[in-house]
Amino acid sequence: MRVDIQNNTFFKKALNKAFPELNASDFSGISIDSRNIKPGDIFLAFKGESSDGHNYISQAESAGASIAIIEREVETSLPFFQAESTQKFLHDLASAYRNHITCPFIGITGSNGKTTTKDLLTNVLSASMKTMSTKGNFNSTIGVPLSIFECNGNEDIAIIEMGASMPGEIEYICNIVRPNMGIITNIYEAHLEYFGDINEVAKTKSSLFSSLGKEGAAFINMDDLFISNMPIACKKVKYSFTKSSDYEGSWSSDRQTLTINNISINLSAASETIGLNALAVFSIASYLKMDAHVIKNKIESFQLPAGRGNILQFQDIMVINDSYNANLESARTGINNLTSLSKGSRKIAVIGDMLELGDLEEDHHKTLGKYLSEKKVDAVFAFGNLTRHTIKAMNGASMFHQYYDEKASLLTDLKAFISKGDIIYVKGSRGMKMEEIITGLQN
């Protein structure tokens, strides 16, 4: 990720405040990737699990970097500043920068739906406010501090997505962002490889609400058992499909129309997921005093980003592309959506491994197999070592269910199996690259 800071006076002030020994000059940008460096940039040498930015300082220099921020000695002719750690350098710099930004910040976290909620909220609020929001999914302890530098100080509101892959990360991010409002979309068993159990997930996510000052506002999903019971000291704005709340949602029978407090919204796709996100966004935008009909129109015009449940039509079939990421609950939601869309069409699930589930990986993949059987999908094509457990759990089921070692073999059999009018649901964790199946179907 690279952030353009050319002519950003706040950045220079923050750098002078946090690190006066650097004698800040006018830098062009700041980046953690030597491949994105442009002349005049700051290069932050981060050490990750699989790569070390200190090994790419010569490339950053060749690309025109003005200075490298390092945490261990290296041989280079590029001017450098050795910090205690590049992580702490970025933290302190972003914290100093945040002091110059006066617009309110909205923090978004949760197990599922963070990015789609952020994108939908940005689409809605931008109708009446100058809005800054996190780009892509730069929601980590590195991505969020860099994203803050995108605020120029003339915004009406800033929307920050916050992700966590291990305990304590939401608190760390909130200490930098200092949000004024916050929403936790849901709490499910995700990233359990590092969290251990769902209670630790909930504890980490709850740090967003804990960080809000008494003048802040927490948007509460009352249908989530963990979120609805979190201790909250600030103003509570409640939304729900099942309980009495400030904002109450209900569905049409075909899941195409969502009604919120008597406002009917025609969704761009018949998707339970987009409906849940829309209810959350409607609550936030209404709290910020946007006109309900403007909110309705902006939700109706929103198109889901690729890989997050968007619907494709080609070769007389429908494909639901939910390939961006996966855990058990998001897979269940997607399968429910597949079932609601079928209307007599054959339902085909193409699934890849759900990763980062720790000790529960086998159990969750077996549970998915049982769920697919219960929902009576017409065929299941599985890829990835863990989906062996899914197919095994379906033994005895009458529908077609097959595991594949190779995507090419799966694709060949899938093409032979499908016929006009079929609906194909594609799901898997990011590392499985299940979107390649969709590309193969289109070719």
3-state DSSP call for residue 327?
A: coil
Instruction: Please indicate, yes or no, if residue 93 is contained in any of the structural domains.
Output: no
Instruction: Please answer whether residues 171 and 156 qualify as being in contact, where contact means their C-beta atoms are separated by less than 8 angstroms.
Output: no
Instruction: Please answer whether residues 246 and 239 qualify as being in contact, where contact means their C-beta atoms are separated by less than 8 angstroms.
Output: yes
How sure is the predictor about 195, in pLDDT bands with cuts at 50, 70 and 90? confident
Distance in angstroms (rounded) separating the CA atoms of residues 43 and 165: 25
Q: Is the pLDDT of residue 191 over 70?
A: no
- The pLDDT assigned to 190 comes to 67
Alpha helices by DSSP H, listed for 303-378, are 328-342, 361-374
Please give the full DSSP string across 187-230, using - where no structure is assigned. --S-SHHHH-SHHHHHHHHTHHHHHS-TT-EEEEETTSHHHHTS
**End residue of a domain, out of 271, 300, 329:** 300
| Residues 32 and 157 both lie in one domain | no
| Residues 339 and 381 both lie in one domain | yes
Distance in angstroms (rounded) separating the CA atoms of residues 187 and 201: 7
Q: Tell which residue, 427, 426, 249, has the closest CA to residue 328.
A: 427
Q: Is the pLDDT of residue 47 over 90?
A: no
Q: Please write the tens of the pLDDT for every residue from 211-267.
A: 998 999 999 999 999 999 999 999 999 999 999 999 999 988 777 899 999 999 998
Please give the full DSSP string across 243-306, using - where no structure is assigned. S--SEEEEE-TTSSEEEETTEEEE-SS--HHHHHHHHHHHHHHHHTT--HHHHHHHHHT--PPT
- The pLDDT assigned to 138 comes to 87
Instruction: Please answer whether residues 400 and 378 qualify as being in contact, where contact means their C-beta atoms are separated by less than 8 angstroms.
Output: yes
Q: Tell which residue, 109, 278, 231, 228, has the closest CA to residue 179.
A: 109
Question: Average pLDDT of the chain?
Answer: 92
Distance in angstroms (rounded) separating the CA atoms of residues 25 and 15: 9
**End residue of a domain, out of 44, 63, 86:** 86
Instruction: Please indicate, yes or no, if residue 337 is contained in any of the structural domains.
Output: yes
| Residues 295 and 315 both lie in one domain | no
- The pLDDT assigned to 420 comes to 94
How sure is the predictor about 387, in pLDDT bands with cuts at 50, 70 and 90? very high
| Residues 141 and 228 both lie in one domain | yes
CA distances from 224 to 112, 168, 241, 383, 402 (A): 12, 21, 11, 31, 34
Which residues, at least 6 apart from 229, have a Cβ–Cβ distance to it below 8 Å?
A: none
Q: Please write the tens of the pLDDT for every residue from 308-353.
A: 888 899 889 999 999 988 889 889 889 988 988 877 899 999 999 9
Segment 188-199 mean pLDDT: 78
| Residues 356 and 215 both lie in one domain | no
- The pLDDT assigned to 48 comes to 79
Q: Please write the tens of the pLDDT for every residue from 196-211.
A: 888 999 999 999 999 9
| Residues 12 and 156 both lie in one domain | no
Helix (H), strand (E) at residue 423: strand 423-427
Helices (H) and strands (E) in the chain, counts: 17, 20
| Residues 70 and 149 both lie in one domain | no
| Residues 77 and 178 both lie in one domain | no
Q: Is the pLDDT of residue 84 over 80?
A: yes
Which residues, at least 6 apart from 376, have a Cβ–Cβ distance to it below 8 Å?
A: 347, 399
| Residues 273 and 316 both lie in one domain | no
Q: Is the pLDDT of residue 20 over 80?
A: yes
CA atoms within 13 A on the CB side of 64: 10
Helix (H), strand (E) at residue 348: strand 347-352
Distance in angstroms (rounded) separating the CA atoms of residues 215 and 231: 15
Q: Tell which residue, 186, 235, 149, has the closest CA to residue 160.
A: 149
Q: Is the pLDDT of residue 356 over 90?
A: no
Distance in angstroms (rounded) separating the CA atoms of residues 198 and 187: 8
Query: Residue 329's domain spans which residues?
Result: 310-442
Instruction: Please answer whether residues 435 and 321 qualify as being in contact, where contact means their C-beta atoms are separated by less than 8 angstroms.
Output: yes
Q: Above pLDDT 90, what percent of the chain?
A: 75
Instruction: Please indicate, yes or no, if residue 305 is contained in any of the structural domains.
Output: no
First to last CA, the chain: 32
Strands 400-404 and 2-4: unpaired
CA distances from 159 to 114, 117, 129, 179, 334 (A): 11, 10, 12, 9, 26
List strand residue ranges (DSSP E) for 20-143, in order: 29-31, 42-44, 67-70, 80-82, 105-109, 131-133
| Residues 321 and 264 both lie in one domain | no
| Residues 199 and 330 both lie in one domain | no
3-state DSSP call for residue 53?
A: helix
Sign of CA pseudo-dihedral 358, 361, 363, 364: positive
**End residue of a domain, out of 86, 112, 129:** 86
Helix (H), strand (E) at residue 183: strand 181-184
Segment 275-295 mean pLDDT: 97
Instruction: Please indicate, yes or no, if residue 95 is contained in any of the structural domains.
Output: no
**Domain total in the chain:** 3
Lowest mean pLDDT, pick from 66-80, 182-196, 222-236: 182-196
Segment 272-289 mean pLDDT: 94
Question: Nearest 5 degrees, angle CA 324-CA 327-CA 332?
Answer: 100
- The pLDDT assigned to 231 comes to 94
| Residues 260 and 339 both lie in one domain | no
pTM, two decimals, is 0.85
Distance in angstroms (rounded) separating the CA atoms of residues 77 and 81: 12
Q: Please write the tens of the pLDDT for every residue from 130-173.
A: 999 998 778 999 999 999 999 988 999 999 999 998 899 999 99
